[in-house]
Amino acid sequence: MRLNALSLFAVLYLLVLYAPIVLLPMFAFNSGTVIAFPLQGVTLDWFAALLNTPALHEATVNSLIIAISTAIFATILGLFAARAATRYGFPGKGGMVGFIMLPLVLPEVIVAISLLIVLMQLGLESGTWSIIAGHTLICTPFAIAILQGSFSNMDKSLEEAAIDLGETPWSTFRLITLPLVSPGIIASLLICFTISLDEFIIAFFLSGNEPTLPVYLWGQLRFPARLPVVMALGTILVVLSVILLIIAETFRRRGLKRAGLKDTGGFL
């Protein structure tokens, strides 16, 4: 009996967690203009409307530029930090790694406000580049967490062996380190891209007059007639995020397999 109660709890829990998200595609394909049950007919009009909205296209381009730049910057920074943290011991290492990882738990609204204050104090215009900076700040800890896993799975003597066989530190990095952590790098790029693409608070505070996709979405909520279109866009974003996360996880597992290691419970 106890088992049944627990199973019931688990099912309810998952339902509460995911039911609202299921509503998104339901209304995205619903032909009625009002977001309410009962559902009317099936339509693709709302998706078609997305294609005819230039402001949405601009927001999408902004978001893609920001997400791609963030993914690259955060992963490069994460690569350096993760290698240093797993390979070397140096004074103050613990504190330093702690501070780098802090944005992981820091409320985003704090990060957003402080960045905005800094920008205002410096008299700088906020815009795409400032969102990239903010997103890099919050994504780098994720990149480090993923890459640290890749590095600590890698036998340190592999790099030494390559140097011993005549390679320079740089060619060793290129021939041995990079191929072995590349699944981690790809996973990190994809996860940072996804986080940046979905991020709202920092983008909202810093976007100025160049909204990102989530900020644009939020703006559209004021117009009830636009709601089904927002639902359609939301549906696309959810599907995209899920696909990206699955690809990222696949690469992480492939990396483990290539290194001949057991999965010890990954990032996801």
Partner 1 sequence: MSQTRTPIVTLSGVQKFYGDYHALRGITAEIGRGEFFSLLGPSGCGKTTLLRAIAGFEDISDGQILLDGKDMEGVPPNRRPTNMVFQSYAIFPHMSVAENVGFGLRKSAMSTAEKRAAVGQALEMVGLGKFGARAAHALSGGQRQRVALARALILKPKVLLLDEPLSALDKKMREVMQVELIKLQREVGITFVLVTHDQEEALVMSDRIAVMFEGEIAQLADPETLYRRPNSRRVAEFIGMMNFLPARVTDPAGARVQVDVQGLGPAELDPAQCPGGAKAGGAEIGVRPESLTLLYDGQTAEAGREASGTVREVVYYGDMTYYDVLLDGTPAPVRVSMRNMPGRKVLEFGARARLAWDPRAMVLFG
Residues at the contact surface with partner 1, assessed by CB under 8 A: 155, 157-158, 160-168, 176, 179-180, 258-260
Beta-carbon contacts of 45 under 8 Å, excluding residues fewer than 6 positions away, are 31, 228
Q: Calculate helix-pair angle for 227-258, 178-198, nearest 10 degrees.
A: 170
Name which of 238 and 259 has its Cβ closer to partner 1: 259
Query: CA dihedral in degrees (208, 211, 215, 220; nearest 10)?
Result: 110
Name which of 22 and 261 has its Cβ closer to partner 1: 261
Name which of 169 and 208 has its Cβ closer to partner 1: 169
CB of 72 to partner 1, least distance (A): 24
What is the distance, to the nearest Å, from the Cα of residue 71 to the centroid of all Cα atoms in its chain? 8
CB of 164 to partner 1, least distance (A): 5
Name which of 1 and 165 has its Cβ closer to partner 1: 165
Contact between residue 131 and residue 208 where contact means Cβ atoms under 8 Å apart: no
Contact between residue 142 and residue 71 where contact means Cβ atoms under 8 Å apart: no
Q: Calculate helix-pair angle for 213-220, 227-258, nearest 10 degrees.
A: 150
CB of 135 to partner 1, least distance (A): 32
CB of 192 to partner 1, least distance (A): 24
